[in-house]
Structure 1
Amino acid sequence: MPINIILAGFMGVGKSTVGKILADRLDWVFFDTDTLISDSAGMSISEIFSTYGEQYFRSLENRIIDDIIINSNMVIATGGGLILDQSNFDLIKSKDSVIIVLDAPFDVIWSRLRFCDDRPIIVNNSKLQIKGLYEIRRPIYYERADYIVSICSKTPYEIAKEIECLLDLHQ
């Protein structure tokens, strides 16, 4: 059994929603790294980006994952860029955590993000900009995933149950 379950993937795939459900089903602790960062900084992720920039946000992200990964029996929903950082990825893997990438085709992502105004990495919600970022990140997610779970045509509860079955974590 893994020590922790790390939910990764592109923005809008439902990592936080699925993570809460999965943690509840397993009676494990749930953390959302973006929420922890926002709480510790006392400002929203958008405010962190606009005030201090992406590099500062990434340093907070590194610190947060470093602080929480030492615990066990956690479901951790990560920001879309967290496992792209090699040091974060190495740290996660060194703690016997399993990385589950939630995946969807771009048209599903676009339908979820097109009117979103609280994601600083996609400043102007340009379809071309979001697709470019998606095409850069998706192969890295696939490369770093222990398992890939499609979110298409499934409820968050069905996705959580699929992850349980995949990892044989039935209770």
Structure 2
Amino acid sequence: MGIILLGGIKHCGKTTLGRLAAEELGWRFYDLDNLILKEAGGMWKTVREVWQDMGKEEFQLLEEDASRNFIEWIIP
């Protein structure tokens, strides 16, 4: 199984394209938004709420942590 990372501005179709590609390839799909919410301890329902409550800098640190933890988990 390979790894494909999609990046881009919000609402450009990353999640839709990622899900379709994963389904076509028979791979698992992971959305960073969901990983961020998990990393945040499940206190928020959306990443927008996390951003609003934490502010830009703290959110970016959380996003970095979620990304790093995922990469370390998926590529041991």
Segments of structure 1 that go 5 or more residues without pairing to the other structure are 73-171
2:69 aligned with 1:67: yes
2:47 aligned with 1:48: no
How many residues align structurally? 71
Per-residue Cα deviation, 1:117-146 (whole angstroms, up to 9, x for no partner): xxxxxxxxxxxxxxxxxxxxxxxxxxxxxx
Measured in 2, the distance between the counterparts of 1:45 and 1:13 equals 16
Q: CA RMSD in A?
A: 1.8
Measured in 1, the distance between the counterparts of 2:48 and 2:12 equals 19
Higher strand share: 1
Higher helix share: 2
TM-score by length of 2: 0.78
Aligned residues: percent identity?
Answer: 32
Shift of 1:22: 0.6
Measured in 2, the distance between the counterparts of 1:69 and 1:32 equals 13
Per-residue Cα deviation, 1:45-101 (whole angstroms, up to 9, x for no partner): 1221222111111111111111112325xxxxxxxxxxxxxxxxxxxxxxxxxxxxx
For the pair shown, the structure with the greater C-alpha radius of gyration is: 1
SS in 2 for 1:69: helix
TM-score by length of 1: 0.38
Measured in 1, the distance between the counterparts of 2:13 and 2:24 equals 16
Confirm or deny: 8 A CA contact 2:22 2:29 kept in the other structure: yes
Segments of structure 2 that go 5 or more residues without pairing to the other structure are none
